[in-house]
Amino acid sequence: MEPTTTIRSNIEDYIRKQGYTLQYFADISGVNAGTLSAIIKGTRPIAMAQLDLITQGMKLEEGHFYEIYGAECFVESAPHWRRLEPFLQRCAELDKLDCIQRVIQQVTDDRSYVSELFELAEYMLERGQKKAARMLYECVAECEKYQHSERLALCHYRIFTLSLGQDQHENLRAAVHFEPYINRLDEERQLDAIKDLANTYSGLRYWDKVYQLAGELEQRVEFLERYKNKEIGYKRTFKHPFFTYRAYAYLLMATVWGERQDYEKALQYTSLYSNLSIEEPAPEDLVFIERFKGWAEVNNYLYKLMMGDYEALNSYLDFIEKNENETLLGLVKIMEAANLYNLDVDHALGRFDAYIHLLLLEDHNYMPSYNNQIKDDRYTKFWAELTFYQLSKGRYTEGFNHLLTCLASAHKIKDDSTIIYCVGLYEEYSMQASESVKQNYKNLIKEVYYRYGKKSNVSVNAL
């Protein structure tokens, strides 16, 4: 990161080549002439605000000198937080992540700014500067002196949530890496951490892990009920009303029993969060009470449908049509039930034809989060179930189109089990595939093989 020229020499050269006087350039840049003279002579350091004004006066893009500035101020000389903080903030605003990375690698050698970097990371996260914040969290985690400190655990929690995206392998890696740090967080923050981790494993369909975490969440709630809220001056630090965490634990448990196809137990746990009641509920509490009531209603329809109660279908359709957040999951479950019990759900598909068409047009490049991870999983699962439904009914054109959509989505999020499922379906019905379908399938499988480092020119040609 050694600069070939200094910022001072760049300013001098610009003024000379333009034929400006120092005063004239001071007027157009907005920097005091005396200050400008001292900067050029090297007797006064350049503040970030002055650097931005000078850059604008020279008609250069914002942040043009940041790399040189970082080297001059924080690598070649001892850094000072009063100058470092605004530099990192401006780099984050302009998305100059390389500048941030180079500087923080240098300034944290003596660990003198670990606390300040952590606070700045929290500030950046609040402002939505997630990539820059993650860099600082990773730096702080690496430099943290005390391995059992809450700050280290909180850094890993932040890194975990910022790491979640479409790649299921990366999501699993992030979850496994973070899990040992949960117990180092304060008791209240553990509630959100366990909930987030459970949601991640849910998106990965690790149902035993989800059930274990749901039990841990319930235990943490019981502990806080006994001890924490009896403290004088108690103030919550968790995100949601306290009562929601126990209810969410029951929701997770019901979900797991549903996935295990034990729908009676799923209904039992659903009843535990269906009618929540607390004393003197605040407006926020009422919102969550209604939310859980809605989830209980739709899940009651769902589990009855999955038990073969075809009469529950229309009520379920009415609910997911009115509640867009439940529509995709609802369609997944309807197709599962249809394939499990050989039900005719053509009328349901017709009712949601416009929604299904929009699914094909959506660009599933979400910001990383466990919610979007779950959406990607549901999206892929829907096309898998719909593919089987159409192919089993002899609708080969629709079925193969859905299969290619499903395979592409599964490849994108690295969902290996669904990729294998698609391959199995294709092999079973390949005699009915058109030449264009065969070619498109061959191209997609080639991409899958390349990702695994296979010599696909041999394997794919054998298809």
Return the amino acid letter for 433: A
Total domains, the chain: 1
Q: Is pLDDT at 172 greater than 50 in this prediction?
A: yes
Structural domain of residue 403, as residue ranges?
A: 363-463
Average pLDDT value for residue range 261-268: 96
In this prediction, residue 75 carries a pLDDT of 76
pLDDT of residue 81 exceeding 90, the answer is: no
Q: What is the pLDDT of residue 54?
A: 94
Contact 305, 331 (CB under 8 A): no
| Mean pLDDT value of segment 189-206 | 95
| Position 121 in a domain | no
Let me know if residue 299 belongs to a domain: no
Task: Give the total residue count for the chain.
Answer: 463
pLDDT reported for residue 370: 44
3 state SS of 3: coil
Question: CA angle 21-27-33, nearest 5°?
Answer: 65
- Reduce the DSSP state of residue 46 to 3 states and report it: coil
* Residue 418 domain flag: yes
More confident residue, 451 or 402: 402
- Determine what percent of the chain is predicted with pLDDT higher than 90: 70
Structure token pair of residue 454: 């296979």
The answer to the question of residue 382 being in a domain is: yes
HSE-up of residue 284 (Cα within 13 Å, Cβ side): 6
**Is residue 409 packed enough to be buried (19+ CB in 10 Å), middle (13-18) or exposed (0-12)?**
buried
CA distance 112 to 214: 40
Q: What are phi and psi of 416, to 5 degrees?
A: -65, -40
What is the pLDDT averaged over residues 113-137?
94
**Tokens, residue 28:** 């157009």
Q: What are phi and psi of 150, to 5 degrees?
A: -65, -35
Q: Per the domain annotation, does 268 fall within a domain?
A: no
Mean pLDDT of 189-215: 95
Task: Give 357-374 pLDDT, tens digit per residue.
Answer: 988 886 554 444 446 677
Q: Which stretches does DSSP call E strand in 248-338?
A: none
Closest by Cα among 188, 308, 207, 187 to 256: 207
Residue 451, pLDDT score: 75
Residue 92, domain member (yes or no): no
pTM of the model: 0.82
In angstroms and rounded to an integer, the radius of gyration of the C-alpha atoms of the chain is 29
- Burial of residue 414 (number of CB atoms within 10 Å: 0-12, 13-18, 19+): middle
- Around Cβ 363, how many Cβ atoms within 10 Å? 5
Q: In this structure, what token pair is assigned to residue 227? A: 């001890």
CA distance 290 to 274: 9
**pLDDT tens per residue across span 282-323:** 999 999 999 999 999 999 999 999 998 888 999 999 999 998
The SS3 of residue 40 is helix
Please check whether residue 272 lies inside any domain of the structure.
no
In a domain, 433, yes or no: yes
pLDDT value for 259: 93
